[in-house]
């Protein structure tokens, strides 16, 4: 028997209006083979990756990205670490994605990160906490613009969105 779902596919376009955030698998996450694990967690949650790139971030870009911390004692070691090897940058879209990505990521200091979060499952040290995710809508807009051109961000529908969103 063939069953048809009674779903209104015309609503799919709503997802375009949802939030976007910037996510990075930091150099430690890349070295430890966690790219796939992290991307899987993002996808399985129902979030949509709308841009994706591996590169070694330029020093000036890393300084701009973390400019809110430029007076902190850990700033120079943080920048040095972020540019130390390839990282994976993404733009992720979805309903409440900024808050959800922060929750999936876990507390900044892994000692406080709940098991089940990325930091709580895969890290031990605050300076090697595997993932970055924007912490507010202003930060998300700023960070996406630092790391991606508009033309690198893909606004597409996914067929499962009718099952993920009410
Ligand atoms: P991120 O920006 O990397 O996603 O991390 P976050 O929002 O959870 O934490 P934030 O306060 O923005 O700090 C940025 C990164 O700096 C390192 N850090 N070290 N030694 C220290 O006290 C210290 N505090 C922060 C961490 O690697 C943190 O992810
Ligand atoms: Mg931060």
Question: What is the residue with the minimal CA distance to atom 3 of ligand 1?
Answer: 132
72-88: average pLDDT: 98
The answer, yes or no, to whether residue 4 has pLDDT greater than 70, is no
Q: What is the CATH number of the domain that holds 76?
A: 3.30.70.141
The answer, yes or no, to whether residue 14 has pLDDT greater than 80, is no
Whether 1 is covered by a domain: the verdict is: no
Whether 158 is covered by a domain: the verdict is: no
What is the pLDDT of the chain when averaged over all its residues? 93
Whether 81 is covered by a domain: the verdict is: yes
How close is the Cα of 4 to the center of ligand 2, in Å? 45
Whether 3 is covered by a domain: the verdict is: no
Which ligand is in closest contact with the Cα of 73?
Answer: 1
DSSP 100-137: HHHHHH--SSGGGPPBTBHHHHH--SGGG--EEE-SSH
Question: What is the residue with the minimal CA distance to atom 10 of ligand 1?
Answer: 108
How close is the Cα of 134 to the center of ligand 2, in Å? 6
Whether 80 is covered by a domain: the verdict is: yes
By most ligand atoms within 8 Å of CB, the mutation choice from 74, 83, 128 for ligand 1 is: 74
Provide the domain count of the chain: 1
Whether 18 is covered by a domain: the verdict is: yes
Which ligand is in closest contact with the Cα of 105?
Answer: 1
At 18 the pLDDT is 85
Lowest mean pLDDT, pick from 14-18, 63-67, 130-134, 151-155: 14-18
By most ligand atoms within 8 Å of CB, the mutation choice from 21, 27, 78, 143 for ligand 1 is: 78
Q: How far is the C-alpha of 52 from the C-alpha of 89, rounded, in Å?
A: 6
At 166 the pLDDT is 85
Q: Which residue is associated with the tokens 């920048």? A: 79
Domain of residue 64 covers 14-151
Q: Is the distance from the beta carbon of residue 126 to the nearest atom of ligand 1 less than 6 Å?
A: yes
Contact assessment for residue 52 and residue 153, using Cβ atoms and an 8 Å cutoff = no
69 is catalytic: no
């Amino acid at each position: 028997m063939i069953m048809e779902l009674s779903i209104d596919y015309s609503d799919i376009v709503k997802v375009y209006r949802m939030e976007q955030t910037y996510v990075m698998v930091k150099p430690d996450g890349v070295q430890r083979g966690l790219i796939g694990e992290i991307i899987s967690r993002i996808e399985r949650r129902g979030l949509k990756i709308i841009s994706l790139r591996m590169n070694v971030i330029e020093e000036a870009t890393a300084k701009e990205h973390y400019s809110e911390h430029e007076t902190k004692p850990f700033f120079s070691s943080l920048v040095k670490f972020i540019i130390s090897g390839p990282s994976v940058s993404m733009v992720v879209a979805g309903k409440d994605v900024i808050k959800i990505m922060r929750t999936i990521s876990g507390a900044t200091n892994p000692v406080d990160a709940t098991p089940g979060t990325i930091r709580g499952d895969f890290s031990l040290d605050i300076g090697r906490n595997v993932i970055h995710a924007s912490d507010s809508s202003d930060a998300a807009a700023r960070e996406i613009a630092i790391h991606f051109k508009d033309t690198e961000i893909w606004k597409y529908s996914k067929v499962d969105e009718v099952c993920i969103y009410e």
